[in-house]
Amino acid sequence: MDAPRSLPVRRRTVLAAAGAAVAAASAGAARASAAARQPVAAPAALTARQTAGQRVIYSYPGLTVPSTLLTRISAGQAAGVIFFGENISSESQITAVVKQLVQANAASPVKAPLLLMTDQEGGEVRRLPGAPALSEKQVGEAAQPQTAATQAGTGAGQNLAGVGMNVNLAPVLDVYYTAGNFVDKYQRSYSNNASTVSSLGKAFITAQQGAGVAATAKHFPGLGAATASQDTDAGPVTLTQSLSKLRTVDELPYQAAIAAGVRLVMVSWAVYPALDASAPAGLSATVVQQELRGRLGYTGVTVTDALEAGAISSSYSTAQRAVLAAGAGMDLLLCSARDVSQGDAAAQALADAYTGGGLPAAGFDAAVQRVTALRTSLS
């Protein structure tokens, strides 16, 4: 539920014929759907630490990749990297960084592309210069919103692919309840109408994945009810809408996203008493396993929001957060504190729980297989 942390330094114009974009998007969605259904074996003969690393997304500070992160990658101990504004000064700079990471990964025993991701939602929340220029709210208010959503998805996909990234942590599928609330004040919601969010989110996902970049629907089951001051990055958030409201409003766009073959779903750190009053959604097997996978039938990769978020009790260490999230059913852990040691702590905790029986091997291996399937389908 991150607020904007950086603004683009310049814009790039993306030119694409509408017919070509739609055709490419449809083909891409079909490929993504097929890849998601195709069983892929987890990498063989990996150590526990390497196996655990397949579930960890690292981050780092500044413009230069630390040697420790390059070492983790070449040792097969990381699934990928998330980039923030502080990591990017220009297209040429971040393209060079991506090439450096890819070269390190070439030495890895895990022969699959790294997951290289950022938040390129549009509007204020963009880490890269360029498309999509429109925020989700501006897309929803456009004269032809469906076309605008398709163009935004195509632009985001081409932009990320152009610098070598392959995952976008977008689109936001939160249906805002009140004008000016947390999601709406940053223009991160298409609409206060669930059907509109569903159709525009689906158009963005289909177009972006058609451009070869995996989309992430967020923040399940929905943060649209959060008030202007309810920020899960900063502290605990409890959203008290009824189960009926959750399922007919907040979760509705996820049904459309899943039907479109969305590759990842990010789960929020808010608490939803209608589903589970005892834990944030990303630490709740009820939310992840029963609601998202069971009721909605999602079979792709789940990813946490920022593992360091203030919404999780400060009494929990990184290691504890990692094991709790994995135990709840989160496939990928987003270690986004810009500190390589955070990713190391999460990965080591997962490895210890995997070998010690704290996390059942069957579920752990299934998570690694889902991540491996995603990675092998991307370039």
Local structure of 169: helix, strand or coil:
coil
Looking at residue 43, its pLDDT comes to 54
Cβ pair 227, 182 in contact under 8 A: yes
Q: What is the CA radius of gyration of the chain?
A: 19
* Contacts of residue 288, Cβ cutoff 8 Å, sequence gap at least 6: 267, 281, 282, 302, 328, 329, 330
Supply the pLDDT for residue 231: 96
For the four alpha carbons of 84, 86, 92 and 93, in that order, the dihedral sign comes to negative
- pTM of the full predicted structure? 0.90
pLDDT at 45: 86
Rounded to an integer, what distance in angstroms lies between the CA atom of residue 308 and that of residue 318?
7
Could you report the average pLDDT of every consecutive run of 10 residues in the chain (379 residues)? 41 32 39 41 78 98 98 98 98 98 97 97 96 98 98 98 98 98 97 98 98 98 98 97 98 98 98 98 98 98 98 97 98 98 98 97 97 94
At position 371, the amino acid (one-letter code) is V
Q: Of the candidates 23, 27, 33, 21, which has an alpha carbon nearest to the alpha carbon of residue 260?
A: 33
Both tokens of 261, joined, read 């073959």
Any residues with CB less than 8 A from the CB of 342 and at least 6 apart, and which?
59, 307, 308, 318, 335
What pLDDT, on a 0 to 100 scale, did the predictor assign at position 196?
98
Contacts of 317 (CB under 8 A, 6+ apart): 345
